[in-house]
Amino acid sequence: MAVAASVLVLVNMVTINITSLAVLWYKGYRPDDWFQQDEARVATAKRTVVLAVTILVLSAPPPTTPTGPGCARNESATKSTPVGPRE
């Protein structure tokens, strides 16, 4: 339960970062110099991609373990082992 809550907090933090990058860029919060604008555009694009990939990784469902009839886990669970002495 604590892991799920932590993942939710991380996803929220990353989403807030992406939104703030987009809003600041949309509002015109950019460097004054033309050469710095190109560098800022590339840096912002890289950060946005990294943050979006982070959200995708954190939002992915956890891997499931197979439990069908041919699985070793299922076969070991169905085998009965003697507990006491046999008569």
- Closest C-alpha among 57, 46, 53, 1 to residue 21: 46
- Closest C-alpha among 57, 61, 77, 80 to residue 69: 77
Q: Above pLDDT 70, what percent of the chain?
A: 75
Q: Rounding to the nearest 10 degrees, give the CA dihedral for residues 14, 17, 21, 22.
A: 60
Token couple for 20: 């703030």
State if pTM tops 0.85: no
* pLDDT value for 77: 52
Alpha-carbon Rg for the chain in angstroms: 25
Q: Is the pLDDT of residue 76 over 70?
A: no
The structural domains of the chain, with segments of one domain joined by +, span: 10-62
* Chain CA centroid to CA 42, Å: 23
